[in-house]
């Protein structure tokens, strides 16, 4: 297992953004209903349980999102990766919903902006090498 990267520039330079297959949506999930197959993440909030689920489990009006995994084992104590990624995407007018896992960070962007977002993050990575 690789050691988590903590240095800001090393995290950005070391990321390898990968567009994951499938489309997902952020939804509020009923408390007593089993989670659907393919659920990507959860967050307990005062208003209810939020899940990231495949779009076919979401209401029709849910925003379809794609997931870009940054593919760098960033430290949970690292500072700046999320800010750099979200700032680069914000400059292009692309909403970014960041989700941190233990091994990697994941960026959910609207499906119609996914390829442009991937290109921007690849450029960000190259410019920090």
68 with 15, same domain: the answer is yes
42 with 89, same domain: the answer is no
Cα separation, 109 vs 21, in Å, equals 13
Task: List, as one string, the DSSP characters of 21-86.
Answer: SS-EEEEEE-TTSPPPTT--EEEEETTEEEEEEEGGGS-TTSPPEEEEE--S-B-TT--SHHHHHH
Do 52 and 98 touch, CB atoms closer than 8 A? Answer: no
Pairing state between β 65-69 and 18-19: antiparallel
Cα first-last separation, the chain: 23
Query: Which residue is listed with tokens 């919903």?
Result: 97
pTM for the model: 0.93
Q: So what's the pLDDT on residue 62?
A: 96
**What is the domain-level CATH number for residue 126?**
3.30.2130.10
76 with 55, same domain: the answer is no
Instruction: Please list the pLDDT of the chain residue by residue as tens digits (129 residues).
Output: 678 888 889 999 999 999 999 999 999 999 889 999 999 999 999 999 999 999 999 999 999 999 999 999 888 888 899 999 999 999 999 999 999 988 889 999 999 999 999 999 999 999 998
User: Can you give the residue range of the structural domain that contains 11?
Assistant: 1-22+64-129
């Amino acid at each position: 297992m690789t050691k988590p990267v903590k240095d800001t520039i090393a995290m950005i330079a070391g990321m390898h953004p990968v567009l994951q297959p499938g489309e997902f949506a952020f939804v509020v999930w009923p408390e007593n209903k089993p989670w659907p197959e393919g659920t990507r993440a959860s967050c307990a909030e005062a208003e209810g349980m939020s899940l990231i689920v495949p779009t076919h489990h979401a209401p029709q009006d849910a925003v379809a999102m794609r997931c870009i995994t940054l593919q760098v084992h960033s430290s949970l104590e690292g500072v700046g990766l999320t800010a750099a990624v979200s700032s680069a995407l914000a400059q292009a007018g692309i909403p970014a919903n960041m989700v941190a896992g233990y091994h990697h960070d994941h960026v959910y962007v609207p499906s119609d902006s996914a390829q442009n977002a991937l290109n921007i993050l690849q450029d960000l990575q190259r410019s920090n090498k």
